[in-house]
Amino acid sequence: MCGIFGTINGSDAAPVLLDGLGRLDYRGYDSAGLAVLDKTIAVRKLGGSVDALASLIRVRPAEGRVGIAHTRWATHGAATSENAHPHVFDGIAVVHNGVIENHDAIRTRLQQDGHEFQTSTDSEVLPHLISHHRRRGQSAVVAVQSALGEVHGSYAVAVLMEDIPDLLIAGRRGSPLVVGHDEDGGYIASDPAALAGYCAQYAALGEGALALVARGAVLVMDQTGAAETPRWQQVPSLTTVRRTGAGAHMAAELAEIPAAVAATLAAADRRVGRTGLEAGGTVLLTACGSSRHAAAIGAHWLEHWAGVPTRVEIASELLHRPTLLAEAAHLVALSQSGETADTLAVVRMAAAASVPTAAIVNVAHSQMAREAGTVWPTLAGAEQAVAATKSFASQLAVLARLSLDVAEARGTLSPVEAVFRRRALERLPSWLGQVLDGVDHDALSEAVKVLARARTALAIGRDIGAEIAAEAALKLAELAYLPTLAVPAGELKHGPIALLEPGVPVIAILIHGPTLAKQVVSLEEVAARGAGLILIGDDAALTATHGIAALRLPLPPVADAVAWAALPLGVGVIVQRLAMMTALARGLNPDRPRNLAKSVTVE
């Protein structure tokens, strides 16, 4: 995680750095800081957001025409101003993204040499280590190379040195970093999209590479230190927007779901050739967080329509199960960011085991999009709130479409039926618009009140409903800090039912189908224990629960031909909105929940 931005372009650096950081704060927002150089290095940093850093700089301006900046997601050490980056020692300022696994050993060794440290962070060892090598006569560049060569773990760094005012040094291994330049300036960033408007082209640094960034020129060296020709690519256009107000991003992104699904389905229409999943054998889906919930729903669809045996595994767990991975016929990774370290590591592990890989990914220029064998894009556009919303809906759209395509290729769906079902999917965007506009506001407000005053909650469902219950629980925990246990409804009686008592709300996801009758029995069991029920589902399902006292949030009617895909998507929208509103009712900002970051780039 963490965002890095660096500039050397002859103009006042601080505003450029703040602008760059503002585009990168999705990578972490625990603390922020910058260092600029004007004869000496001036540092401004704090535990807080980029906006707070901008306010600090208005009060205490920092002048200089070259600088580096950082927005942090804490790994080692609390989110305090001392632990914020840049770390400076001996006229050397460093910002770092990644984890230095051997920082304790390096620190102990340097302490024996007389170095004194201000923090216990892993990153602080870097300027000390660079200084150590410089004091032993190494040039600036060689000293950075030596220091990075001693580091175990992952890093992306930008280095500014007081005695070399016309150069920034960038290096990476494991964590992403790109460089760019125009005629007059040079830039470093964690994400090429942050460079929009500053330069037209960027080069992604390779593993172990180092770059010297000057005004109008960039020199890249590979991990052996040999000069390398950068592979220049077009800087993507700026898709992020500045919005203020708690939940402003998430509310806007929920409203964008119909457009995101429409664009994603249109892209799927342009896909040519077979998917590869029809070849037979187990398809392994992997992802983290909400992307995994989308994968789990997709697995039901692939099995139902195409009869493909499908497994879903959390990426960080799959890393410990190489046999499972090696035996898969195909690995499909899902990720909004395309940067999630665990998911990316599985893609690499699969490639190393010669398992064909595909990625359902939203950020087109991401590492995962570059490395996966096939990319099935979601076209949700930039998602800036921490919570996945339109990306989740778009992943479901890809999976729905993929299930039909694979079913047709395998002959489990006739071509005529496949065309009919595919065309029916085109109704999803307008129906999702109705879900957003047609929600029963009174019932929604009542449900929010119940959840906002609860200390714990449960979310239950069966079949696909159980996967959406898991999504509801994740969103209520991450946004409203409401501990919510997701339980497949049939499992309730095997333990979690002990949690039920008045004041513990139970959200039940209800989608009509063969499991409905059994779920109604579970609801009776919940109601009998005095727990309040919030039912979310389609009309037919809610009608079956008529005799049970509950708050009901019904979905609008939907055509049978598309109900299988629409209902999970629609219920997903409602639970995400419920979680957002519960967070707001608790006085929280759902766009930037504590301890989280949008892109989770550490394992």
**Catalytic site residues?**
2, 598
Closest distance of CB 337 from ligand M6R, Å:
3
Q: Pairing relation of β-strands 210-214 and 168-173?
A: antiparallel
Q: State whether residue 462 is helix, strand or coil.
A: coil
Q: Which residue has the tokens 């999009």?
A: 369
State which of residues 75, 336, 357, 367 lies at the interface with ligand M6R (CB under 6 A).
336
Tokens of 150: 């001693």
Give the relative orientation of helices 464-480 and 289-301 as an angle to the nearest 10 degrees.
Answer: 170
Judge contact between 169 and 141, C-beta under 8 A.
Answer: yes
Nearest-CA neighbor of 330 among 353, 307, 362, 314? 353
State which of residues 130, 148, 161, 288 lies at the interface with ligand M6R (CB under 6 A).
288
Tokens of 155: 């890093």
Closest distance of CB 86 from ligand M6R, Å:
27
How many chain residues are in contact with ligand M6R, going by CB under 6 A? Answer: 15
| Residue 289 in the binding site for ligand M6R (CB under 6 A) | yes
| Residue 366 in the binding site for ligand M6R (CB under 6 A) | no
Distance, CA of 141 to CA of 225 (rounded, Å): 10
Closest distance of CB 267 from ligand M6R, Å:
18
The residue among 75 and 340 lying less far from ligand M6R, judged by its C-beta, is 340
Q: Which stretch binds ligand M6R (CB under 6 A): 113-121, 127-135, 195-203, 330-338?
A: 330-338
The residue among 205 and 346 lying less far from ligand M6R, judged by its C-beta, is 346
| Residue 358 in the binding site for ligand M6R (CB under 6 A) | no
Q: Which stretch binds ligand M6R (CB under 6 A): 1-9, 29-37, 183-191, 286-294?
A: 286-294
Closest distance of CB 42 from ligand M6R, Å:
35
| Residue 343 in the binding site for ligand M6R (CB under 6 A) | yes
Closest distance of CB 310 from ligand M6R, Å:
19
Q: Which stretch binds ligand M6R (CB under 6 A): 39-47, 213-221, 288-296, 484-492?
A: 288-296
State which of residues 24, 92, 178, 386 lies at the interface with ligand M6R (CB under 6 A).
386
The residue among 9 and 389 lying less far from ligand M6R, judged by its C-beta, is 389
Judge contact between 31 and 40, C-beta under 8 A.
Answer: no
Q: Which stretch binds ligand M6R (CB under 6 A): 207-215, 223-231, 296-304, 384-392?
A: 384-392
Residue span 448-487 as binding mask against ligand M6R, x where in contact by CB under 6 A, dash where not: --------------------------x---x---------
| Residue 97 in the binding site for ligand M6R (CB under 6 A) | no
The residue among 7 and 291 lying less far from ligand M6R, judged by its C-beta, is 291
Distance, CA of 271 to CA of 253 (rounded, Å): 26
State which of residues 121, 335, 357, 378 lies at the interface with ligand M6R (CB under 6 A).
335
Q: State whether residue 236 is helix, strand or coil.
A: coil
Q: Which stretch binds ligand M6R (CB under 6 A): 225-233, 329-337, 405-413, 456-464?
A: 329-337
Phi-psi region of 216 (alpha: psi -120 to 50; beta: other; left: phi over 0): left
| Residue 387 in the binding site for ligand M6R (CB under 6 A) | yes
The residue among 68 and 254 lying less far from ligand M6R, judged by its C-beta, is 254
The residue among 31 and 340 lying less far from ligand M6R, judged by its C-beta, is 340
Question: To 10 degrees, the CA torsion angle through 127, 158, 100, 124?
Answer: 30
Tokens of 126: 């870097």
The residue among 201 and 576 lying less far from ligand M6R, judged by its C-beta, is 576
The residue among 325 and 347 lying less far from ligand M6R, judged by its C-beta, is 347
Closest distance of CB 325 from ligand M6R, Å:
18
Q: Which residue has the tokens 């919930």?
A: 293
Closest distance of CB 291 from ligand M6R, Å:
4
DSSP letter string, 275-334: -SGGGSS-EEEEE-HHHHHHHHHHHHHIIIII---EEEEEHHHHTT-HHHHHT-SEEEEE
Cα angle for residues 141, 144, 148 (degrees, 5° grid): 145
CA distances from 352 to 143, 315, 319, 359 (A): 33, 16, 13, 16
Q: Which residue has the tokens 């006292």?
A: 549
* DSSP letter (8 states) at residue 113: T
Distance, CA of 551 to CA of 504 (rounded, Å): 14
State which of residues 31, 340, 378, 403 lies at the interface with ligand M6R (CB under 6 A).
340
| Residue 388 in the binding site for ligand M6R (CB under 6 A) | yes
Residue nearest to ligand M6R (CB): 289
| Residue 286 in the binding site for ligand M6R (CB under 6 A) | no
Distance, CA of 197 to CA of 184 (rounded, Å): 13
State which of residues 31, 275, 286, 290 lies at the interface with ligand M6R (CB under 6 A).
290
Judge contact between 436 and 461, C-beta under 8 A.
Answer: no
Q: Which stretch binds ligand M6R (CB under 6 A): 211-219, 334-342, 480-488, 524-532?
A: 334-342
Question: To 10 degrees, the CA torsion angle through 563, 568, 572, 578?
Answer: 70
The residue among 462 and 475 lying less far from ligand M6R, judged by its C-beta, is 475
Q: Which residues contact 91 (CB under 8 A, 6 or more apart)?
A: 40, 41, 161, 162, 163
Report the chain's C-alpha Rg in angstroms.
Answer: 26
CA 330 to chain centre: 23
List residues bridging with 181 in a β-sheet: 186
| Residue 357 in the binding site for ligand M6R (CB under 6 A) | no
Q: Which residues bind ligand M6R (CB under 6 A)?
A: 288-291, 335-337, 340, 343, 386-388, 474, 478, 600
